[in-house]
Amino acid sequence: MTSGGHERRWAAAILAALALLALLPLAAPRDDVLNFVFLILLAITLAESWNIVAGYAGQVNLGHAAFFGLGALVTRTLWTDGIPVLLAMAAGAATAMLFALVIGVAAFRLRGAYFAIGTLALGEILRTTVGNVLPQISTLPAATIASYRLTQRYYLALGLAAVSVIAVTALATSRLGLGMRAIREDEEAAEASGVGALSLKLTALALSTALAGLAGGLFAYYHISYYPSHPFGPQWTFDALQGPVLGAVLYVVLKEYLALHWVDIHLLIFGALFVAIVLLLPGGLVQATERARAVLGGSRRAA
C-alpha cells in the first residue's frame, strides 16, 4: 500500500500535535482558550467520522447528525441518571452504531443521490421525533455543575480525537481500507474480484457512526444545557462535512472568529465559502481531502 506511508506520517504528525496540546492545561490558560481547542478537537473527530463513509464507502451521508444526536441523547440520559460518563458514552456509541447497522442494510441499497437524500430524511425524522418527545431543555443538576471541570472534558476530547485519527489511519492502511477504496472506485469491479461490498460498507458505517456517537457523547458531557433535538440538526452534518473541504481545524478557527465579529452572517459566509471550495476543487471530495491535508500538514502527497 503505497499510500500507507503518507497516511502514517500524517497521523503521526497529528498525534504529535495532540500530545503537545495535552500539555496546554498545565500552562493554566484561560477557559476560553481551552473551550476553543475543545471545539477544534470535537470538529476533528466529527469530520474524521464522516469521512470514513464518504472516503471509503464513497457515499455522501447527509444525515450524519442523527448519529451524533443519538450518542448525545443516550449519553446524557444515562449519565444524568448516575451512570459513569465513560460507560454512558460507550452506550451512546453503541446505540448510534446499532441504529446505523439496522438501517444500513436498507440504506446501502441506494446509491449516490438517493443515499444522500435518504440519510437526510432519516436525520430529519430523528430530529423531529426527539423534538416532539423531549421538547424541554436539558440542564445539568446543580451538583454536577458545581463539580464541572473543563480539563476533564478537554482531555476526553483530546483522547477521542487521537482515537479517531488512529482508527482512520489503521483503516486506511489495512486490507479493509483497500477493499473499501476499491468499492469507492468501482463497486461492480470490486465485487467481481471477490470484495464483499455490503459488509465492507457496513463496517465503514459502523466505525463512522460509533465515532460520531462518541463525539455526541462528548457533546452531552460538555454542554451544561441544550435542547435534546439540537445535536440532531443539519448544522452538525455540515460541521462534519468540513473536514475534507476546509479542514476541520481551519473551519473551527474561522467559525469562531466569524462568530465573534460577524455574528449574524457567519453561517452565510461559511455556506458561500464551502460552495466556492467544492466548486474550485475538480475531482471532488477525495482530491479535496488530499489537498487539504497537503496544505495543512505541509507534506507532499502523490495525488
Partner 1 sequence: MILAQQLLLGLLIGGLYGLAAAGLSLVFGVMRVLNVAHGELIMLGGYGAFWLAALLGVDPFASLALVIPGALLLGAILYWGLFGFVVRAHEETRVKNSLLIGFGLALALHALAVRLWTADERSIPTSYGGAVLSVGELSIPLVRLATLVLALLLIGALQLLLSRWRWGKAIRATAEDWQAALLTGIDIRRAYLLAFALGTALAGAAGTLVTVAYSVSPSIGLEWTLKALIVVVLAGLGSMMGTFVGGLVLGLAEAASAATFGGPYREIVGLVIFVVVLTVRPRGLFGR
Chain residues that interact with partner 1, rule: CB under 8 A: 54, 58, 60, 62, 106-107, 109-110, 112-114, 116-118, 120-122, 124-125, 128-129, 132, 234-235, 237-238, 241, 245, 264-272, 274-275, 278-279, 282-285
The alpha-helical segments, DSSP class H, found in the chain are 2-22, 31-51, 65-80, 85-107, 112-133, 142-146, 150-172, 175-185, 187-192, 197-222, 234-245, 248-261, 266-280, 284-297
Q: Give the nearest distance from C-beta 270 to partner 1 in angstroms.
A: 7
Closer by beta carbon to partner 1, 97 or else 241: 241
Q: Do 2 and 302 contact (CB within 8 A), yes or no?
A: yes
- Backbone dihedral angles phi then psi of residue 30, each to the nearest 5 degrees: -70, 160
Sole residue written with cell 498525534: 15
SS3 of residue 138 by DSSP: strand
Q: Exposed, middle or buried, 141 (CB in 10 Å: 0-12/13-18/19+)?
A: exposed
Report which secondary-structure segment, H or E, holds 173.
none
Integer Rg of the chain from CA: 19
**Cβ-Cβ contacts under 8 Å for 250 (sequence gap 6 or more):** 296
Q: Give the nearest distance from C-beta 288 to partner 1 in angstroms.
A: 10
Closer by beta carbon to partner 1, 86 or else 121: 121
Q: Give the nearest distance from C-beta 40 to partner 1 in angstroms.
A: 20
Nearest to 72 by CA among 98, 100, 99, 92: 92
Closer by beta carbon to partner 1, 118 or else 216: 118
Q: Give the nearest distance from C-beta 65 to partner 1 in angstroms.
A: 12
Closer by beta carbon to partner 1, 99 or else 155: 99
Q: Give the nearest distance from C-beta 279 to partner 1 in angstroms.
A: 5
Closer by beta carbon to partner 1, 33 or else 265: 265
Provide the CA 137 distance to its chain's centre, in angstroms: 24
Closer by beta carbon to partner 1, 45 or else 61: 61
| Torsion sign across C-alpha atoms 182, 183, 189, 193 | positive
Maximum distance among all Cα pairs of the chain, rounded to whole angstroms = 60
Closer by beta carbon to partner 1, 69 or else 217: 69
User: Cα separation of 68 and 234, whole Å?
Assistant: 11
Q: Give the nearest distance from C-beta 241 to partner 1 in angstroms.
A: 7
Q: Give the nearest distance from C-beta 110 to partner 1 in angstroms.
A: 6
Nearest to 155 by CA among 98, 87, 209, 86: 86
Q: Give the nearest distance from C-beta 12 to partner 1 in angstroms.
A: 29
Closer by beta carbon to partner 1, 113 or else 192: 113
